[in-house]
Amino acid sequence: MRTTPPALTAAQMARVGKAIKRLQRDLAVDDGTGSLAGSFADDAQANDVRRLLSALTTAQARIGELEAELRSANEGYARLGGRLASASARIEALEGERDANRAQAIHLTAKLSEERRFKREFEEACRAEVVAVDAAMVSLRDELAAKTEFVMQAEAALTAARTRAEGLEAENARLRMLLCLRHHATAAGLYLDDGELQCAACGIDFKRMSAEDIERRFADNGRRELAALTPPPATTGEEAS
């Protein structure tokens, strides 16, 4: 199995070229100087030497081409190395951007999680507040219904009391009239025009005076009448002297 020989470096190719040149000088054919090729008696040997020189010349030319290709390859390698360095720097920059973006994404994820937690807690608080408000509204409705019922009962009681008061006022006015008409005064002393209930003889205003004042006036008038009807006590001689 044939294997590809390892590639020669520039220094190795230069040493090979120098060795070929020395070999060419040693095998060069020069009739004027009597070189090594001219010393061969057999033309076959001389031809072999010439073919070897030709092969060496071809090899040297090939070595020159290889040296040029090697220089071109080295230049390409240098350019490729520059591009690789630029690509490496770009990769490092991209990796830095990736790390920064990753850190930013982690920060944004944490912030989003915090905002979601705050939103969830706020919604729960709002729902609890709505439940509390609903309960308060139910309580207020019940209280309002109770107060409305109480007001209605109070209005009914007030209406009944007003009706009763009106009845009592009418009854009071009627009783005052009857009292004015039935007391012992003569009709000539009564003044009943324009709804008045006055007795000039007794000095009583049955329409305006309170029951206590009328009672007191009756008592005073009765005492005066009683005093007028009682005869004075008889006097004796001793009392007269």
Q: Which pLDDT score is estimated for 24? A: 64
Q: Which pLDDT score is estimated for 209? A: 93
Q: Which pLDDT score is estimated for 50? A: 73
Q: Helix H segments across 28-42?
A: none
Q: Which pLDDT score is estimated for 232? A: 72
**Buried/exposed code over 96-128 (b: 16+ C-beta within 10 A; e: otherwise):** eeeeeeeeeeeeeeeeeeeeeeeeeeeeeeeee
Q: Which pLDDT score is estimated for 165? A: 95
Sign of the alpha-carbon torsion through 138, 144, 147, 153: negative
Q: Helix H segments across the chain?
A: 10-27, 43-182, 211-229, 237-240
Q: Shortest CA distance to 50 belongs to which of 60, 59, 38, 61?
A: 38
Q: Which pLDDT score is estimated for 48? A: 72
Low-confidence ranges of the chain (pLDDT < 70): 1-10, 12-13, 23-43, 45-46, 184-187, 234-241
Q: Which pLDDT score is estimated for 239? A: 55
* CA 125/CA 122 separation, integer angstroms: 5
Residue recorded with tokens 């071109």: 72
Q: Shortest CA distance to 34 belongs to which of 44, 46, 51, 23?
A: 46
**Buried/exposed code over 153-185 (b: 16+ C-beta within 10 A; e: otherwise):** eeeeeeeeeeeeeeeeeeeeeeebeebbeebeb
Q: Which pLDDT score is estimated for 141? A: 93
Q: Which pLDDT score is estimated for 33? A: 45
Residue 205 is classified by DSSP as E
Sequence letter at residue 174: R
* CA 224/CA 125 separation, integer angstroms: 89
3-state secondary structure of 204: strand
Note the residue count of the chain. 241
* CA 31/CA 48 separation, integer angstroms: 17
Per-domain residue ranges for the chain?
A: 10-97, 183-230
* CA 118/CA 197 separation, integer angstroms: 85
Q: Is the pTM of this model over 0.75?
A: no
Q: Which pLDDT score is estimated for 73? A: 83
* CA 123/CA 136 separation, integer angstroms: 20
3-state secondary structure of 190: strand
* CA 209/CA 123 separation, integer angstroms: 74
Q: Which pLDDT score is estimated for 30? A: 46
